[in-house]
Amino acid sequence: MSAWLSRKVSSLNLQELNEFDGSQEQKQALKELGKEFEITTEKLRSIVKQFTFEMQKGLERHGAKVAMIPSFVTGKPTGMESGTYLAIDLGGTNLRVCKVDLLGNGKVEIQQQKYIVPEAMKTGEMRQLCDFIADSVDMFLTEIDTDSYSEALQLGFTFSFPVNLRTINRGNLMQWTKGYCCTGAIGKDPGLMLQDSFRRKNMKVNVAAIVNDTVGTLMAHAYRDPTTFMGIIFGTGTNAAYFEKMDNITKWEDDITSEEMVVNMEWGAFDEERRVLPMTIYDNRLDRESINPGTHIYEKMISGMYLGEIVRNMTLGLVDRQLLFDGKSSPEMNKKWSFETSHMSAIEIDTSSDLADTQYVLETVLGIPSTTLMDREMVKTLCRLVGIRAARLSAAGVAAVMTHCNLLPQDACTAAVDGSVFEFYPHFSHNMMKALKELFGEEVEQKIKFSQSHDGSGLGAAVIAMQVSKGN
Ligand code: BGC
């Protein structure tokens, strides 16, 4: 393995690319890509500035790009909550159905089942999708032997898409993201449509709350740790929610007694006007071919649904210039979305001298006829460029919330984080913290703790359903 690759893989600078021992053309191509994907500290600062500006706009008026949606969740849980609630989570590959027993003292028991959402359901009719959810809940209740119950079961519906809420359990879907695009849903109320499916099946289940996964993640963590101020998802998609002072949500028109409310930022839509995000031709191509072109571009530079596709676009660019794989691609590599973000993770953690795992991904999984060590090193570099950029852009979102809430002078706080990119992508959290240190200094590490949280959509949605049904 070249000295160049044996370096610790948590950071990459343009200087390193000079030491890469490929041909002049290969070197030049990698240097150009390195430049395009670089987010300097100065660039980070300008992104954070624009981010706080857009947050402010979203708090002031309806219809802003970063929508800053009031969640109607006001109270922090105390951990003493009790009772039995249902929760479902729709937003990725699976539908998760849970029965949550809140036992007080921060204790909880969860029974859950996952159901694969068939691809056709994600792009079919919304009414069918809701019927599928109701059937799955019915099946689950039978499986756990809770199919006869006298009072309506209260359900927290984690629906991880942008919903403009009018009340805690009523709102309108603003747009689809993450590969979903059911018909008959945009502008409609997902809570009401699901309630209708329960009614048609004579199920006594009440949709008590529509919950974004970020809000659920925040509340689930806060049930155990009151210093939690933010819930973040770095997974198939990305987004964040945090506690905001009611006085700052100036677009809020109703009376309310509480001082704070959780705001679902919908930060994936940041910079749709393309003022600061350094989009490359590879990002533009991905965006154009996505189900929601022109929207959620920040999400498309950060999250698991998209990172592999950016690398695929870059790889094909180098193949076309005869700089990779001897100019040959494969039918699999030519297929959209075939380069999954999990392949990038496998490549990034591959430190073997012959990059054997990388070879496996490229040749066996993606069908490239043969690869040289140089080819593998180049693809690994592409993955690193895209992975590091994602972590640094993610840090910009966190930094914007920290700046807006003036958190640095305050006590240490916790951000609850869920999602496959945060959990599994090599060096992601390290690179994110590195960027935060560049922005705020070394001491930021003592100010914000990122805590992996798994049960947001279950526990969090149940806690919220409980708060609603007890009128908190
Ligand atoms: C959705 C958000 C969600 C995020 C993470 C985005 O695509 O717009 O509502 O929180 O994905 O699941």
Q: Is the pLDDT of residue 116 over 80?
A: yes
Q: Give 296 Cα–ligand 1 centroid separation in angstroms.
A: 10
Give the integer Cα–Cα distance in Å for 201 and 260: 38
Confidence of residue 15 (pLDDT cuts 50, 70, 90): low
Ligand 1 pocket test, pick from 68, 89, 158, 266 with the greatest ligand atom count within 8 Å of Cβ, gives 266
CA atoms within 13 A on the CB side of 459: 23
Residue 89 Cβ inside 6 Å of ligand 1? The answer reads no
Give the integer Cα–Cα distance in Å for 273 and 50: 11
Percentage above 90 pLDDT, the chain: 80
Which residue has 């309806």 as its token pair? Answer: 62
Q: Give 83 Cα–ligand 1 centroid separation in angstroms.
A: 28
| Per-chain mean pLDDT for the chain | 92
Q: Give 161 Cα–ligand 1 centroid separation in angstroms.
A: 5
Q: Give the residue-averaged pLDDT of 406-434.
A: 93
Q: Is the pLDDT of residue 6 over 60?
A: no
Would you call 147 a catalytic residue per the annotation?
A: no
3-class secondary structure, 386? helix
Residue 54 Cβ inside 6 Å of ligand 1? The answer reads no
Q: Is the pLDDT of residue 44 over 90?
A: yes
Q: Is the pLDDT of residue 7 over 50?
A: no
Residue 200 lies in a domain: yes
Residue 237 lies in a domain: no
- Interhelix angle 373-404/428-440, rounded to 10 degrees, is 50
**pLDDT tens digits, residue range 404-417?**
999 888 888 999 99
Residue 212 lies in a domain: yes
Residue 81 lies in a domain: yes
Check if the beta carbon of residue 182 is closer than 8 Å to that of residue 127.
no
- What pLDDT is attached to residue 223? 84
Going by alpha carbons, the residue nearest to atom 2 of ligand 1 is: 161
Ligand 1 closest atom vs CA 237 = 11
Strands 260-264 and 448-452: unpaired
Going by alpha carbons, the residue nearest to atom 9 of ligand 1 is: 161
Residue 450 lies in a domain: no
Q: Give 82 Cα–ligand 1 centroid separation in angstroms.
A: 29
Catalytic residue among 65, 76, 178, 380: 178
Residue 88 lies in a domain: yes
DSSP string, 204-250: -EEEEEEE-HHHHHHHHHHHH-TTEEEEEEESSSEEEEEEEEGGG-T
Residue 146 lies in a domain: yes
Residue 34 lies in a domain: no
Would you call 178 a catalytic residue per the annotation?
A: yes
**pLDDT tens digits, residue range 69-86?**
999 999 888 878 788 999
Ligand 1 pocket test, pick from 95, 117, 213, 296 with the greatest ligand atom count within 8 Å of Cβ, gives 213
Number of domains in the chain: 1
Check if the beta carbon of residue 316 is closer than 8 Å to that of residue 329.
yes
Confidence of residue 148 (pLDDT cuts 50, 70, 90): low
Confidence of residue 13 (pLDDT cuts 50, 70, 90): low
- What pLDDT is attached to residue 75? 80
Ligand 1 closest atom vs CA 177 = 7
Domain harbouring 180, CATH code: 3.30.420.40
> Considering only CA atoms, which of 192, 279, 262 is closest in space to residue 228?
262
Strands 94-104 and 82-90: antiparallel
Catalytic residue among 213, 350, 375, 455: 213
- What pLDDT is attached to residue 79? 76
- For 133, the domain range is 70-225+455-469
Q: Is the pLDDT of residue 119 over 90?
A: no
